[in-house]
Structure 1
Amino acid sequence: MKTLFLSLTIVSCFITQAQNQETTANTIDVQFKNLIEESNDFQEYKVIEQAQINQLRKNTNEHIQKLNENISSLEASITTKDNKIGSLEKELAEANKELSKVKAERNSMNFLGIQTNKGVYNTIVWAIVGVLGFLFVLMSMRFKSSNATTKAAKNELKLVEDELEDLRHKSIEKVQKLGRELQDERNKLSKLKGEK
């Protein structure tokens, strides 16, 4: 029985060494199952070699250490990505702010040194054009009215001047006629005095 036990121990050592080489490929759970299945039965107990359990503990610790390294690496990666996401969100917020500013500038213009919405600017410009158009029409009508009044006044002035010229000619003729009549009367008077 001891020889059997010894031979089983030696065989299990070889198996353990073979398992150690395959440890990286096997999971911890598979290694536990293999250890339990390969261990000897003694009444209701399982006899496990100390070397095998130590190897399993070593493998488990290595696996836990690798998992911890992976967790640390993943946490660092997550932190890096969180930082990158934060910086990208900040850049996106700045880009959105810049886009809003560009849209506001596109929808507005500088009018008399004041940033004005294009709709308000168009309303102001068309109001100015409307007022100028109204003033042009009003001034045109007033000009036509004034021009007609001026022409009528010129015509009346010409008529008055013509009448005045006529009156002047008539008065000159009358004065001349009166002057001749006066001269005639003087001549008659001189004649009458000369006859006396």
Structure 2
Amino acid sequence: MHYYINQMKTRFLLIGLLFAATISLKAQDSQDIDDSSIKGQFVEVIDKSNNYQEFKVIKKTQLATLRKNILDSISNLEKEIVAKDETIASQSGKISNLENKLASTQESLTISMGKEDGISLFGIPMQKTAYNTLLFSIIGFLLLALLLFIYKYNSSNSITKEANAKFDETEAAFEAYRQKKLEDEQVLRRKLQDEINKNR
């Protein structure tokens, strides 16, 4: 019974060593300790150990050294994993920051494009088409008002000239009438004076 328990322990120990060796060999590019030396130690421990039937008898010192090297390798791997996790977290933060900046830039670009496509009139945002329509409508209205003003001015000017001409004609006629009346009055006074002189 005791023999079978020792066999089982030995088998579990060998399986554990092989498993640790597999982990150690898979991470050989990222370890500070030379993994080939660990591999060599496995070879040395297994090949140079004593044989007992179909089992290998390994010295405790060799097993302790191998165990220490494996644990050191695992520790280095854990440190590297932590460092990589920190790097990933830092890069994730940078990516998040860049995504926020990108979103802000896209928002600014959208606002800029909106401003480019639109015009603010008295603080009211308008599309360029609506602004152009309103602008040309105002210009058309002002031109129409100007043409109407010119027409009214010319019409009023013509009426004013005609009225001035009639006024001048009337004034000339009145002056002629006044002169005639003065002459008639002078004639009547002479006649009256002549009659008064005769009666004396």
Distance in 1 (alpha carbons) for counterparts of 2:143 and 2:62: 106
1:74 to 71, 78, 84: 84
Between 88-97 and 101-110, the greater mean CA deviation after superposition: 101-110
Between 24-33 and 135-144, the greater mean CA deviation after superposition: 24-33
Higher Cα radius of gyration: 1
| Equivalent residue, structure 2, for 1:138 | 148
1:157 to 156, 167, 171: 167
Q: Deviations over 1:84-113 (max 9, x none)?
A: 33333334444444555556666667755x
| Equivalent residue, structure 2, for 1:64 | 74
1:24 to 34, 41, 66: 34
Q: What letter is aligned with 1:177?
A: V
Q: How many percent of aligned residue pairs carry the same amino acid?
A: 31
Structure 1 position 176 matched with structure 2 position 176: no
Q: What letter is aligned with 1:52?
A: Q
Name stretches of at least 5 consecutive residues in structure 2 with no aligned partner: 1-32
**Helix, strand or coil at the partner of 2:34:** coil
8 Å contact from structure 1 (residues 108, 115) kept in 2: no
Looking at both structures, which has the greater relative contact order when contacts are Cα pairs under 8 Å and sequence separation is at least 6? 2
Distance in 2 (alpha carbons) for counterparts of 1:33 and 1:134: 106
| Equivalent residues in 2 for 1:81-100, closer than 5 Å | 81-100=91-110
Name stretches of at least 5 consecutive residues in structure 1 with no aligned partner: 1-22
The CA deviation at 1:123 is 5.3
Distance in 1 (alpha carbons) for counterparts of 2:95 and 2:48: 51
Q: How many residues align?
A: 167
8 Å contact from structure 1 (residues 40, 47) kept in 2: yes
Distance in 1 (alpha carbons) for counterparts of 2:180 and 2:69: 149
**Helix, strand or coil at the partner of 2:162:** helix
Q: What letter is aligned with 1:155?
A: A
**Helix, strand or coil at the partner of 1:81:** helix
